[in-house]
Structure 1
Amino acid sequence: MKPPLPKRDEPYRAGETALLVVDMQRIWLEPGADPDHPERGPDHYFYRQTASQTIPNQQRLLAAARANGVEVLHTIIQSLTEDGRDRSLDHKLTPIHIPPSLPEGLPIPALAPVGDEIMLPKTSSGIFNSTNVDYVLKNLGIRYLIVAGVLTDQCVDMTVRDAADRGYLVTCVSDACATITQERHDIALKAFGGYCWIADTDAVLARIEALGKRA
């Protein structure tokens, strides 16, 4: 008999679990840093939501991952070249271009990589389309992928769907993600919920901390 298929919400396994933090960059998260949206002041929903909930919850996830042997990876939108000639056609048309020399393109200090945590620059919405993350995750022996970041209905959405298609058991941490409005966030979670286990930070922390107890 074939072994039963795993459940999307089955417990994580030590040595097979990674946390992927998506696009938590200064240019998106610091009011006034995004030149394409000068109309969004400090009181805009997105900035209030990320400052009050998304970032603090990601800090909790990072602390738990680092303390319990969970691999941590970061991805940022960043061109490989200063003039952006390597960007995807979509990013050229949008246009989105963050040169490698731009300080605002790096993660915010509160969520910056620690030690030798892996950070992968990408030039598309989907990290699996414009980086070697699948190769890296498989080399690391990862089966369970925890996803948190921005924007819920864009880069997070692509990450979840593409990871599921490649055979990872994906968790999307609902209150550690955000997008431009609450409505867009809620609609996105409903739309890609069939590809992952959607859980809040407290539930995911309990799963991560359980790994340390079993070690």
Structure 2
Amino acid sequence: MPLNASLPRRDAPFKLGATALLLVDMQRIWLEPGLDPDHADWGPDHYFYRQTREVAIPNQQALLRAARASGVEVLHTIIQSLTEDGRDRSLDHKLTPIHIPPSLEAGLPPKRLAPVGDEILLPKTSSGVFNSTNLDYLLKNLSIEHLVVAGILTDQCVDMTVRDGADRGYLVTCVADACAAPTPERHSGALKAFGGYCWVAEAAEVVARFEALGRDAAA
């Protein structure tokens, strides 16, 4: 028998009580035109804002509704320093520079994507959430095996989350139409580049799986 004969597929069915949804960096400062000082020239009709507003966010809302109704664990991560002056942030964020102080309201998720109840919100100061938070520790405490990822940017923080999650032993799903990048080329190129680390799925497929978990729980 081949050594990998008993290993699960990347698109293996989600398990009840072992599946989590993670939204990456869905913050007002990146999502609302005029708030990001590095992209002051991007108007409301820029591809990124249209894509997040018309496609990624509605799909994330559908994912959140289905996850919450089905008992899927929901977590959020945002770029945010622990200190007002950002002295705790990574060297990379200091050099870039990226600094979102904890007092900045625009650094929080918009109301339609905000954590509900006791959903976990993790501030990070690196591209990869596994590198600057205790996410791995939390997921293991929660007995998570399947990690479903959506957010921005597809070719940066989402990319790092997918690869790092796979390296740490999670079955990762990336919801392609619930992610976005500044250009369609960057988005599609990223999905092709890290697709070998995860199951690349559409929101409708993942919502259906979440709903099936809910039916299993009610049975």
**Length-normalised TM-score, structure 2:** 0.97
1:87 equivalent in structure 2: 89
Q: CA deviation at 1:36?
A: 1.4
1:65 equivalent in structure 2: 67
Cα RMSD, aligned residues only: 0.9
Secondary structure of the residue aligned to 2:190 is helix
Q: How does 1:1-215 map to 2 (within 5 A)?
A: 4-215=6-217
Q: CA deviation at 1:80?
A: 0.3
Amino acid at match of 1:102: L
Secondary structure of the residue aligned to 1:164 is helix
Q: CA deviation at 1:188?
A: 0.1
Q: CA deviation at 1:66?
A: 0.1
Q: CA deviation at 1:137?
A: 0.4
Quote the sequence identity (%): 76
Q: CA deviation at 1:35?
A: 1.0
Instruction: Give the distance between the partners of 2:75 and 2:81, measured in 1 at CA.
Output: 18
Amino acid at match of 1:103: E
Q: CA deviation at 1:7?
A: 0.6
What is the CA deviation profile of residues 22-49 of structure 1, one whole-angstrom value per residue up to 9, with x for unaligned ones?
Answer: 0000000000010111111111000000
Q: CA deviation at 1:212?
A: 1.0
Write out the 4+ residue segments of structure 1 that deviate beyond 4 Å after TM superposition.
none
Amino acid at match of 2:103: S
Secondary structure of the residue aligned to 2:163 is helix
Structure 1, unaligned stretches of length 5 or more? none
- How many equivalent residue pairs? 215
Amino acid at match of 1:98: I
Secondary structure of the residue aligned to 2:33 is coil
Secondary structure of the residue aligned to 1:87 is coil
What is the CA deviation profile of residues 182-208 of structure 1, one whole-angstrom value per residue up to 9, with x for unaligned ones?
Answer: 000000000000000000001111111
Structure 2, unaligned stretches of length 5 or more? none
What is the CA deviation profile of residues 37-78 of structure 1, one whole-angstrom value per residue up to 9, with x for unaligned ones?
Answer: 111111100000000000000000000000001000000000
Amino acid at match of 2:120: I
